[in-house]
Amino acid sequence: MNTFETSPDAVVWRGDGETLLVQAWGRDSLRVRSSPSGDVADTDFALLEPEPVDVEITVDGDTATIVNGAITVVMRAWAGWDWQTEYAVHRCTLEFRDASGRTLLREIPDGGALKLTAREFRPLAGGSHRLRAAFEPPAGERLYGMGQYQQDILDVKGSTFELAHRNSQASVPFVQSSAGYGFFWHNPAIGTATFAANRTEWIAESTRQLDYWITAGSTPAQISAAYANATGHAPAMPEYGLGYWQCKLRYWNQEQLLDVAREHRRRGLPLDVIVADFFHWPKMGDFRFEEEFWPDPAAMVKELQDMGVELMVSVWPQVSTESENFAAFRKENLLVRTERGHGVQMSFQGPSMFLDATNPRAREQAWEILKRNYHDLGIKLFWLDEAEPEYGVYDFDNYRYHAGPNVEVGNVYPQAFSRMCFEGQRAAGQEEIVNLVRCAWAGSQRYGALVWSGDIHSDWADFRRQITAGVHMGVAGIPWFTTDIGGFGGGNIEDPGFRELLVRWFQFGAFCPVMRMHGDRQPSERVLAADGSPRNNSGAPNELWSFGEDVYEILVRYVRLREALRPYTRRLMDEAHTDGQPVMRGMFHEFPQDPVCWDLGDQYMFGPDVLVAPVIEAGATSRRVYLPEGASWTDLHSGAVHAGGRWIDAAAPIEVIPVFARDGALAALVGTI
């Protein structure tokens, strides 16, 4: 009897009801699937069909080996005797190695009398299982990625993560190890991931099978490229994604929005995109402008485009019970289903339910409304808010999608929401696409998803967290990242403390993949319709000129700097598109041979040539900066040139963010900061 079945690119093992399939999946990469009952499924939640590769498969008794370029897996099958049941038990364990034979990662052994199981399936009602996959990690590894969590930890070794989305939390389960591998948990189930010193564990609360992808690479750049090939590359960024985006909560009428764009042009200030935020509609789910406040949106779009400005409109997946589309959507089963209790899933300005973006029919019908009411007017950009989705209560087991129970497939929702607009725009003939979205999962990047970090607070602690959030999102394959400059909530425009924070955040924003001003500034502005009925409030002014003349002069300097960076930023977006490289990079990405760079969480690389060290403490006028070895570094403020491999104290008066160019790059920008 053969222990293993082989094909040109895969090995199958069966035993004790389990089917285990290990398959080459792209260069230097493998996909592992296991089903506790029956054959494995060809799910495509995020992984794309791989390019064919030549692999070497050998079977020697109870051992099978697959060699795929830089990665090797050793499969060891064995049978033991259970003295309690008096029958044989069958197991197969996996060990992954690099090209030199060094162990990258391996499943935990049974531990003899401990009777441990590396792939543990516990049955649930309905045929799914709770799954725990456990591995022995290499000693001393450091880990990066996992998407966006509101913390300022860079090396996530020793951390545990909820595999679930929330407002300001985007769970993207890909992790990159300093030991030379990348690991993608190809499972959209709600769960947890734990990276302890003695064990790595991935848990899915409800799933049909185990499914993960692993790659080997000698540098972070190689691992990033392989992961992008596996899950998709970001599209080419449109030219209007490279400049300055203006937003506030909220331009509540057509003339107010146009006046801001006109003032930008009057002052000679760069502006690529301006935003009509939420509740420009009558009821959530109407997906159209409210006529009283936006009487001629087609004329508005034309005037903006004549000024070289694109309009972005907010789209929420909530459908109010009072929406003109609610009855039809509910009749056609296009809304998320609630398993117990009443059907209301969120109550913001009234009760609502969520569009089921995992349903292809829901995506098609919603897009037809968006196309008619927005895209046909010339609107090219959509702000896909609430994309987690943000349930009123995060009872993940209480919601069911077309694709399955939320607890089993819920993390794929934001990817499907981005897909809705992307595929609709493509079908309508739009070639260049970028849409702002509040959440993402693996594969979202291929649908033009520009992810922002959610409704974060206007304080220094949240500001610091955006640096690591941007780095980890880049590692996790989402190269288009942005934040609400100044934070979303809590900033009073007359407060000197907030003005200082805004300046420092704005400086950081100039070196983010997309530079976008936004926030619910205080004091609020009450909004009433002509008949006296209330509408959602607006925030205080949030334009470059809204914070006093001293602040204005600094902000103008950096919005012009962003414009001067346009050729370089375009190059970085091309690298994201073609090579799968992050735009905002951890220091370790460019300098993996410098051990200091693996621990720097408060500075980063903007592409390969620009080192950015944001000022992240109130009242600071200088900060320590590490300049990596292997390069010389030019201070873009003073022009001073420093040797690498050392720390310096960089001057940082309020108008200056420490930025250094690598090996003489961007010499024309010296003195512009």
CA distance 392 to 441: 21
Beta carbons of 613 and 627 less than 8 angstroms apart: no
Question: E strands within 523-618?
Answer: 525-528, 534-538, 584-585, 604-606, 610-612
Q: Is 152 annotated as catalytic?
A: no
C-alpha–C-alpha distance, residues 526 and 175, integer Å: 45
User: What contacts 236, CB < 8 A, 6 or more positions away?
Assistant: 432, 573, 574, 577
557 three-state secondary structure: helix
- Look at residue 338 and give its three-state secondary structure: strand
Give the C-alpha separation, 495 to 425, whole Å. 42
Report the alpha-carbon distance of residue 236 to residue 435 in Å, rounded: 12
Count of H helices and E strands in the chain?
Answer: 12, 44
Residue 22: which of 14, 32, 37, 13 has the closest Cα?
Answer: 32
Q: Could you give the angle at which helices 549-564 and 566-579 cross, rounded to 10 degrees? A: 50
| Beta-strand relationship, 181-185 and 399-401 | unpaired
Active-site residue, from 155, 310, 385, 590: 385
From residue 217, alpha-carbon distances to 176, 195, 227, 260, 433 in Å are 10, 20, 11, 48, 31
Catalytic residue among 388, 462, 563, 602: 388
Q: How many CA atoms lie within 13 A of 412 on its CB side?
A: 27
- For helices 297-306 and 254-267, angle between their N-to-C axes, nearest 10 degrees: 10
DSSP letters spanning 32-52: EEEESSSPPP---SSPPPPPP
Judge whether 500 counts as a catalytic residue: no
365 alpha carbon, distance to own chain's centre:
26
The three-state (H, E, C) secondary structure of 154-188, written as one string: CCCCCCEEEECCECCEEEEEEEEECCCEEEEECCC
**Any idea which residue has 């985006």 for tokens?**
245
Q: Which of 259, 303, 364, 455 is catalytic?
A: 455
106-114: list long-range contacts, CB under 8 Å, 24+ apart. Answer: 106/135, 106/136, 107/133, 107/134, 107/135, 107/136, 108/134, 108/135, 108/136, 108/199, 109/136, 110/80
Indicate if 553 belongs to the active site.
Answer: no
d(CA 544, CA 335): 40
Nearest alpha-carbon partner for 290 in 488, 528, 540, 520: 528
**How far apart, in Å, are the Cα atoms of 274 and each of 5, 168, 236, 627, 646?**
58, 22, 21, 37, 42
CA nearest neighbour of 650 among 602, 589, 601: 602
Whole-number Å distance between alpha carbons of 11 and 17: 17
Q: Which residues are catalytic?
A: 385, 388, 455
